[in-house]
């Protein structure tokens, strides 16, 4: 086999696409598939809606520190002192204003809500990472499966030729019938794998259509896709990247800050609260209200501040204790996540190195099978080898190809997981 052709085929295999699809019409690149999946993902949309809900809850907390204006009127029967049902003086019209100026517990709850909104925004990035890894994995595996289907089709043809030659040799008394059965068993196993890979191809195509929104009638044509090389070769550097870029860790840090803000606010519950209040009333003469006072004035205005000084509040000490325990829980959770992330990076880096070593073994096995096929083909041309020997060598080469493609895809999956953990998935969109 020509060495240049072998080298080009290996490059295409590493890219995860069949050689027969070098220049397909309307190609779908890996970057396009990821971008379409992010736009089409219901999981990303749900995460965005959750962030909007958190933002609305924060706005509700903030409303206590903003102006609040009320108006209204009412009527009630009174026997005795002429007051309304709420105890206020009877009025034809009233206008009330209140705004919290200083309330540490409420301020702490507001800051905690703001932190939780930030955490929901970070959660969107985590969901996006899940979508990117899933669609990239489906894309790369679909390329590997399609190439494997092509190879298995060639294997089936070679197996048929081996059976035909074996049958002739059995009839000529040069082979035993058991050899024919072995050849038929080989073909049956190849056909079983061929059917399995075809089914997997259908599943991956459907998954890719669902993720990207590609309609059923439109064919999915893949292009060469190669993951970017590692930017940090050492485990310590990878751990540093993970600690700096992990959305899950960032979310845990924000949750800890939210618990701390709430704790500070609850501790401020021992301090006075100050509210700015105001009221304008147009009083009524209902029930002879004007006769209860020497001087009756229809228009009344009250403006000032209302200060409440807590003397003894058992709820405050209970709230502080609860906030303290919640903060300690968040602090412990953050530490546990940091340690777990460091261990995860070590494991994923080790898995990636193991896959790289396995890929080198598979590459050399494929190279050896190709060289053996070239040698057997040359012997056949010289009349020193049979056709069955050539076809068997071709079957061996095809099996090594299948193994090489499978090992290569496992290495790509390991790299995707490591990229997610270290925050390097955005490189796929560049």
Average pLDDT over residues 245-267: 92
Average pLDDT over residues 318-345: 93
What confidence category does residue 312 fall into, taking pLDDT thresholds of 50, 70 and 90?
confident
pLDDT attached to residue 18 = 39
Average pLDDT over residues 158-168: 86
Q: How far apart are CA 239 and CA 342, in angstroms?
A: 6
Q: Which has more pLDDT, 289 or 399? A: 399
Structurally, the chain folds into a number of domains equal to 1
> CA torsion angle for 324, 325, 326, 327 (degrees, to 10)?
50
pLDDT, tens digit, 9 for 90 and up, residues 131-161: 999 999 999 999 999 999 999 998 898 888 8
pLDDT attached to residue 232 = 64
Indicate the pairing of strand 27-28 with strand 273-283.
unpaired
pLDDT attached to residue 310 = 85
Average pLDDT over residues 344-366: 94
pTM (predicted TM-score): 0.80
Least confident stretch, 53-67, 269-283, 398-412? 269-283
Q: What are phi and psi of 252, to 5 degrees?
A: -65, -40
Q: Give the number of C-alpha atoms closer than 13 A to the C-alpha of residue 69, restricted to the C-beta side.
A: 3
Report yes or no: 428 and 136 within 8 Å, Cβ to Cβ: yes
- Give residue 413's domain range: 3-429
Give the CATH number of the domain where residue 214 resides. Answer: 1.20.1600.10
CB burial of residue 169 (10 Å; 0-12, 13-18, 19+): middle
Comparing CA positions, the residue from 17, 416, 412 lying closest to residue 220 is 17
pLDDT, tens digit, 9 for 90 and up, residues 48-88: 999 999 999 999 989 988 988 888 766 666 666 666 656 66
Mean pLDDT of the chain: 85
């Amino acid at each position: 086999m020509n060495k240049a052709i072998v080298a080009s085929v290996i490059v295409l295999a590493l890219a995860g696409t069949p050689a027969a699809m070098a220049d397909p019409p309307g190609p779908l690149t890996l970057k396009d598939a990821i971008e379409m999946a992010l736009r089409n993902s219901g999981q990303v949309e749900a995460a965005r809606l959750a962030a909007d809900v958190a933002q609305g809850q924060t706005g509700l907390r903030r409303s206590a520190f903003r102006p609040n204006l009320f108006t209204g009127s009412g009527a009630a029967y009174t026997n005795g002192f002429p007051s309304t049902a709420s105890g206020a003086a009877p009025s034809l019209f009233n206008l009330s204003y209140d705004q919290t100026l200083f309330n540490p517990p409420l301020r702490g709850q507001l800051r905690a809500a703001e932190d939780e909104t930030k955490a929901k925004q970070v959660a969107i990035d985590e969901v996006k990472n899940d979508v990117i890894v899933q669609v990239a994995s489906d894309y790369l595996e679909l390329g590997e499966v399609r190439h494997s289907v092509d190879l298995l089709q060639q294997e089936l043809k070679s197996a048929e030729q081996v059976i035909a030659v074996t049958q002739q040799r059995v009839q000529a008394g040069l082979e035993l019938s058991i050899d024919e059965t072995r050849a038929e068993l080989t073909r049956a196993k190849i056909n079983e794998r061929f059917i399995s890979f075809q089914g997997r191809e259908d599943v991956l195509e459907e998954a890719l259509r669902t993720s990207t929104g590609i309609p059923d009638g439109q064919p999915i044509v893949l292009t060469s896709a190669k993951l970017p090389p590692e930017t940090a070769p050492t485990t310590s550097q990878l751990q540093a990247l993970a600690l700096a870029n992990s959305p899950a860790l960032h979310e845990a840090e924000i949750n800890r800050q939210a618990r701390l803000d709430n704790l500070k606010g609850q501790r401020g519950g021992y301090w006075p609260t100050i509210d700015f209040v105001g009221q304008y009333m147009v009083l009524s003469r209902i029930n002879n209200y004007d006769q209860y006072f020497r001087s009756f004035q229809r228009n009344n205005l009250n403006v000032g501040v209302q200060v409440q000084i807590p003397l003894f509040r058992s709820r405050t000490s209970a709230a502080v204790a609860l906030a303290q325990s919640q903060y300690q829980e968040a602090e412990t959770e953050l530490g546990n996540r940091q340690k777990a992330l460091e261990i995860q990076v070590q494991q994923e880096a080790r898995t990636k190195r193991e896959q790289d070593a396995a890929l080198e073994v598979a590459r050399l096995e494929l190279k050896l099978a190709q060289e053996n096929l070239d040698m057997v083909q040359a012997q056949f041309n010289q009349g020193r080898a049979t056709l069955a020997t050539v076809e068997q060598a071709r079957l061996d080469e095809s099996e090594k190809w299948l193994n090489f493609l499978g090992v290569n895809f496992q290495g790509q999956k390991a790299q995707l997981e490591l990229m997610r953990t270290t925050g390097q998935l955005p490189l796929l969109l560049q």
